[in-house]
Amino acid sequence: MSAADSDIRKPAVAGMFYPAAPGELAKTIAGYFAEVEKPCSGYPIGLIVPHAGYPYSGRLAARAYKLLDGHQYDTVVVISPSHTVFFQGASVYNGGGYETPLGVVEIDQELSARIAGIHPAVHLSRKGHATGATRGEHSLEVQLPFLQVVLGRFKLVAIVMGDQEEDTVRALGEVLAAALTGTNSLLVASTDLSHFHSEKQARRLDARVQEAVEKYDPALLLETLSSGQGEACGGGPMAAVMMASRRLGGAEVAFTDYTTSGESTGDFENVVGYLAAAITGKEPQVADRSLIGAEAAMAGPVQEVPDEDRPKLHQIARDAIMARLQGKSYTPPTIESLDKRRGLFVTLTIDGNLRGCIGHIRAQLPLYEAVAEMAQAAAFEDPRFPQLTSAEAERIEIELSVLTPLEWVHDFDEIEVGRDGLMIKLEMNSGLLLPQVASEYGWDRVEFLEQTCLKAGLPKNSYRDKHAEIYKFSAEVF
């Protein structure tokens, strides 16, 4: 993050709408994810998610965000209403990032500028984004911790709608469709439904909104809201996301779920309605990662890199290293069958001794590009070793580890040595060990956990800390 600290939008409602302590916040969200099922298998183009305090709508929000598990996006565009200030049009945040207790989400400044440069109703501004003297806008901020937990690394376009007139909504929908075409982006509309009616009346009003969403009909949604037959504080964001997603390949509303605050508070006289929905398109071809436990151990990792492509990736890694040694730039050849994005580590050894190991836990680049980048990093940027020399380059052995998405470990018995790699995060420390490391050293499960803690710079029993986040993953190693 290159932006100055003053350029970062600080949390406004941490400790009020959601926990302020990073460990507690991460565990709260993980608990919600553990309690809900993945609602469908479609590929998410857009989400509609409530924005109340987590005790009221967090579990419902998790229903929507659970659908993102296993997917990766370069940028997430979150559109929210303004509850604190009125202004015309939609304000695209022009700062460096949005901060939550889980860290800073970097603003995609290039895409933000593109979105703000198409129509005068959609403009770069900090209106609606400021934290304010008392309490700032919450409806965009509360979405970010869920996204940080389920996606990890992504950039953000933060949009607050100052008015929700139909002209503004349609302009925003058109702008988003135009600017996001050809990008790997997700749309998120932040909204609650009716406010402070009886449970019976709320459900009647909210059913009309839900009907429009389920029919994937933004015109019907706007008509329902303008006529007073339904209510939604984020009706504009909802309609804009529906309009844009249609142009971006959204085929249907895959699921909806609904509840009211009465389910949490027991007060059914003055409730707020909450809706969660997902707009999906054609799902990309991905390997089945649903096997877990003993079944997965028997089946072994699903092979995602075909045998015939493995030598190509090894050659890319070696060519990238040689180009760097010669002071040349290097662009790997495109391999269409390896355009998928996966976490990756590149390990270099000489005569069986480690000479460098660098990688990305989260998927960021097409696999062939990631191999080139991480091979150069392992050779020249691993802080434990001096830069690789030309004499050494002829002797290196290259090992590639293609990772599956991270899975939260709820029970230590879920960890299988030899199959799983581990990552631990506690406060500002984190560390990762690949699956093959435990096998090479002959560790049992407890030793593997202890060594992962030590790798993170933590006491070896830190995995038992109630705030520790422990993840497992498998790797295809070749």
Domains, the chain, in order of start with CATH, read: 5-281 (3.40.830.10), 302-403 (3.30.700.20), 407-477 (3.30.1490.150)
User: pLDDT digit string (tens) for 153-210?
Assistant: 899 999 999 998 998 999 999 999 989 988 899 999 999 999 999 999 999 999 999 9
Q: State residue 403's pLDDT score.
A: 84
| Region 72-93 average pLDDT | 93
**Residue 99 clears pLDDT 70, i.e. is over it:** yes
**Angle between the 235-247 and 218-226 helix axes, to the nearest 10 degrees?**
170
**Residue 437 clears pLDDT 90, i.e. is over it:** no
List of E strands, 226-291: 252-260, 271-281
Instruction: Give buried/exposed letters for 333-342 (b at 16+ CB in 10 A, else e).
Output: eebeebebbb
366 secondary structure, DSSP code: B
Q: Which helix (H) or strand (E) holds 433?
A: strand 429-433
pLDDT band at 365 (very low <50, low <70, confident <90, very high): confident
Q: State residue 291's pLDDT score.
A: 29
Starting at the edge strand that comes first in sequence, how are the strands of the sheet with 103-106 ordered? 8-9, 97-100, 103-106
Q: State residue 364's pLDDT score.
A: 67
Q: State residue 300's pLDDT score.
A: 39
Burial of 360 (0-12, 13-18, 19+ CB in 10 A): buried
Q: State residue 298's pLDDT score.
A: 32
**Residue 286 clears pLDDT 50, i.e. is over it:** no
| Region 410-435 average pLDDT | 86
Whether the full predicted model's pTM is greater than 0.85, yes or no, is no
Spatial distance between the Cα atoms of 357 and 375, rounded to a whole number of angstroms:
8
Percent of the chain with pLDDT over 70: 92
Average confidence score pLDDT of the chain: 86
